[in-house]
Structure 1
Amino acid sequence: MSPDLWSFSLGTYARPGVEAACLQLQSTGVNVCLLLCGLWLGQRGVACNEQRLQLLRNVAEPWETDVVQPLRALRTQWKSAAAEDSELNGLREQVKALELKAERHLLLRLERSAHSWPQCEATDLAAWLEGVTAGAVHLHRDALHQLRVAATGA
């Protein structure tokens, strides 16, 4: 079990199929940092409830909207032109690194928000997945199954 959310996220994201599942979910509006946090909390046995979900959403949503999404939009906007312009490609890579750093800061903020929550209270990831995907679990069954398997190592 990863002691911190960043290490858990890196390890989970590196597993087969997880990157594709995360990108699929992200393209439909799911906050992947919040999703990874939910998986991490579920793996640690932290019980999911509406108050905890709301606290995490309150931490994640402004940072995602004001910091991560603008960086991602700029990186995406430059993709085609950067393929033919090495100087622009260098700048795009810097934006990509900054986007990753912003996501790491978000994960740290989420971890700090949940640091005092008791562990080993629950074993079901379903409540976290339902909560962090805003009830859209049924729309993303395959991607979420892939993430559940990766998080539990099953």
Structure 2
Amino acid sequence: MCADLWSFALSIYARPGMEAACLRLQAQGVDVCLMLCGVWLEQRGVILTDERVQALKHIAGPWQTQVIEPLRQLRVQWRASAQHDQPLAALRERIKSMELEAERHLLMRLEGLADTWPSGKRADQQRWLERLAAEDAANLDHDALQQLRVAATGA
């Protein structure tokens, strides 16, 4: 298993079918960075607590809303126009790079918070994904979450 969250996330995302699963979750409004952190915590056996879930959400929520989502919206908004406008296509690629860099910084922030949390063998440690995605549970793609969890076992 990868020691740091960024490397772990890249390893998971590169697995067959994971890009599509993550994009499905993202389209449903799920914070994929938070889900990747959750599966990383599950793999490390970190004990799940309400306080830890809230602390992660407290970091991820504002960063997603104020940094990542505006970049993503701009990139998506330019998709069609950039197909016929090379300078715009180049700018769109720069925005895409900035979006990825913003996600990397979020994962680093989440790791910084969670890195000192002890591991354990409590029965609920495998529920990080469901707890972190609880607000999105009504429309949640549980197959994509399970796919994420299974992919993480080989990371």
TM-score with structure 2 length normalisation? 0.93
**Secondary structure of 1:3's match?**
coil
Corresponding residue for residue 35 of structure 2:
35
Unaligned runs of 5+ in 2: none
Q: Structure 1 residues 122 and 8 mapped into 2: Cα distance closer, same or farther (>3 Å)?
A: farther
Corresponding residue for residue 8 of structure 1:
8
Unaligned runs of 5+ in 1: none
Contact 1:43-1:123 at 8 Å conserved across structures: no
Distance across 2 between alignment mates of 1:10 and 1:112 = 17
Q: How many residues align?
A: 154
Corresponding residue for residue 54 of structure 1:
54
Distance across 2 between alignment mates of 1:124 and 1:7 = 25
Corresponding residue for residue 145 of structure 1:
146
Contact 2:37-2:110 at 8 Å conserved across structures: yes
The CA RMSD over aligned residues, in Å, is: 1.7
Distance across 2 between alignment mates of 1:122 and 1:20 = 31
After superposition, give the CA deviation of every residue in 1:76-111 in whole Å (9 maximum; x if it has no partner).
000000000000000000000000000000000000
Distance across 2 between alignment mates of 1:145 and 1:128 = 12
Task: Give the drift of 1:134.
Answer: 1.5
TM-score with structure 1 length normalisation? 0.94
